[in-house]
Amino acid sequence: MAHGPAKGVTRWLFTTNHKDIGTLYLWFSFAMFILGGFFAMVIRAELFEPGMQLVRPEFFNQMTTMHGLVMVFGAIMPSFVGLANWMIPMMIGAPDMALPRMNNLSFWILPPAFLMLASTLFMEAGAPNFGWTFYAPLSTTYAPETVNYFIFAVHIMGASSIMGSINIVATVLNMRAPGMTMMKMPLFVWTWLITAFLLIAVMPVLAGAVTMMLMDINFGTAFFEAAGGGDPVLFQHIFWFFGHPEVYIIILPAFGVISEIIPTFSRKPLFGYASMVYATSAIAFLSFIVWAHHMFLVGMPVSGELYFMYATMLIAVPTGVKVFNWVSTMFRGAISYETPMLFAIAFVILFTLGGFTGLMLAIAPSDIQYHDTYFVVAHFHYVMVAGAVFSMSAAVYYWLPKWTGRMYNEAMGKLHFWISFIGFNITFFPQHFLGLGGMPRRYADYALQFADWNMVSSIGAFIYGASQILFLYNVIATIVAGKKVSEPKTWDGANGLEWSLPTPPPYHTFTTPPDASVIEENSTVAH
């Protein structure tokens, strides 16, 4: 067993090593982040001024669609799978993932899927242009021919996610070192376990939705076509039955990351560990019964509106428990503000803000005003960018020294943080005003009264975009020339089995499970 990695590209093509596969996922997701970010820059450049300047409206629609799809399915989701691959075995004292070969497969089918999706940009019919939520009949009756590539790509992404999730569940349930009981698992492992169950439950529903589209488009069925006895509103129900749990699939692992980082830099164990586990489970359960808050305007009966409104507001309770616990962990802690902690604190503040706008949107009568405006865009970027992406940045800074045995440049990390933080808020805070003022989302142009805040928003977007280049530079500089570090604990306050390993960890770790005493000493749970 004590052999190192193979040489050359075959190492990466045929690897079944969880660290290698984690690295592949992380780099792939970063590449998608850059690609999706490029699309966002096109969008913001066009919206810099009113009127049409740079692109045709048709192409603008392709950009918003591809931006959403690439960011959600290509950047955020795979990045957390990468993190899971790297960290879960090291956190639970397992030698590798449970199903290493399937692990290889679930990664390697992703790049072709996205290549296929991106290739539609160069086809005559153009890329998908019906929004990342691909509502029928826009995505069926009125879709460009390339919709079939999109459907196939979604099938592959779904298969990859399902395989990845099965692997994670099997790893967590079957591979824990003796003594690593469920209620001793680090919270990141817990949140991923729950996320994996969510994925197994709803990715097939997404696959079902696109399969029905495929049938409607190519085989004359009428699931979503009123003319044939179907109903386009059915599509929205199916999509959001997947879609709302999906937003928690995105955010739960981020919760896990933040729950690792805040205790480390507060030098206190996580406050309310058990309540965190229960709150996460409650959020996961509730996420299945609130989907129609995205559909307050489709003509639901009042009873339905009320039900979905109250059920949605209920989610704020377990979410509030989590925020309370993070703040309580910091309370009276010996806090230091290294880059990961800065991102984590920003996460807590900005995610909470996004949660509040979510509550505003959850109020059905108010949502009649807010729906499909930039207010919704502001809401979900606060939870997905300041939530998921910030936590991912935090995770990279937090574990990069462990992974590589080299320290990143702290000053540059902080600079990245501050530029991101300021750029992000300049971009998305004004979008609240635009939305409340009535600017609809997904248009290539806007009325003159929205000109000023749009320009501000675009400037913010360029700043935020640029700061990611700094991030990339810092990571590469660390890997090739960072100051070598070898102490097992990069951070003095860190807990968790991964920090009991040498830095950088050997190719194979925990080939023999750690002692119960090691597990106890390094436990993230308050003793």
Partner 1 sequence: MHKALVAKLLGGAIVMFAFAVFAMPPLYRLACDVLGIGPQQYSAYEEAAAAVDESRTVKVQFMSTNQGAMPWVFEPAQFEVEVHPGERAEVAYYAKNTTSRDMVAQAIPSVVPISAVDYLHKIECFCFERQPLGAGEETDMKLVFFVDPELPKSVGTLTLSYSVFDITDRVASEVSLN
Q: Which residues bind Cu ion (CB under 5 A)?
A: 244
Phi-psi region of 306 (alpha: psi -120 to 50; beta: other; left: phi over 0): alpha
Of the CA atoms within 13 Å of residue 224, those in its CB half-sphere come to 29
Q: List residues bridging with 74 in a β-sheet.
A: none
- Is the CB of 196 or the CB of 434 nearer to partner 1? 196
> Of 18, 293, 379, 402, which is the active-site residue?
293
Per-residue tokens: 307? 């039900």
**Does residue 355 belong to the site contacting ligand HEM (CB under 6 A)?**
yes
CA–CA separation, 357 and 359 (whole Å): 5
21 neighbors 102 (Cβ within 8 angstroms): no
- Is the CB of 153 or the CB of 388 nearer to ligand HEM? 388
Q: Report in angstroms how near the CB of residue 162 gets to partner 1 at its nearest.
A: 5
Residue 435's nearest CA partner among 413, 415, 450, 451 is 450
CA–CA separation, 208 and 41 (whole Å): 32
Residue 175 DSSP SS3: coil
371 binds, among ligand HEM, partner 1, Cu ion, none (CB under 5 to 8 A by kind): ligand HEM
Q: Which residues contact 378 (CB under 8 A, 6 or more apart)?
A: 357, 428, 429, 431, 432, 434, 435
ω into 111 cis (within 30 of 0): no
Residue 240's nearest CA partner among 283, 282, 298, 314 is 298
101 is catalytic: no
**Does residue 138 belong to the site contacting partner 1 (CB under 8 A)?**
no
Site map 271..310 versus partner 1, x via CB under 8 A: ----------------------------xxx-xx------
Where in 288-307 is the site for ligand HEM (CB under 6 A)? 293-294
Per-residue tokens: 258? 């933040």
- Is the CB of 67 or the CB of 244 nearer to Cu ion? 244
Among 370, 417, 424, 446, binds ligand HEM (CB under 6 A): 370
Cα of first residue to Cα of last residue in the chain, in angstroms, is 35
CA–CA separation, 261 and 107 (whole Å): 27
- Is the CB of 42 or the CB of 286 nearer to Cu ion? 286
Q: Report in angstroms how near the CB of residue 227 gets to partner 1 at its nearest.
A: 3
Number of CB atoms found within 10 A of residue 418's CB: 13
- Is the CB of 431 or the CB of 490 nearer to ligand HEM? 431
Site map 247..276 versus ligand HEM, x via CB under 6 A: x--xx-------------------------
Q: Which residues bind ligand HEM (CB under 6 A)?
A: 133, 247, 250-251, 293-294, 312, 315-316, 319, 355, 358-359, 361-362, 367, 370-371, 376, 379-380, 383-384, 387-388
By annotation, the residues acting in catalysis are: 67, 96, 132, 160-161, 244, 246, 248, 259, 293-294, 319, 322, 441
Q: Which residues bind partner 1 (CB under 8 A)?
A: 98-99, 141-142, 162, 165-166, 169-170, 173-174, 200-205, 207-209, 211-212, 220, 222-223, 226-231, 233-234, 237-238, 241, 299-301, 303-304
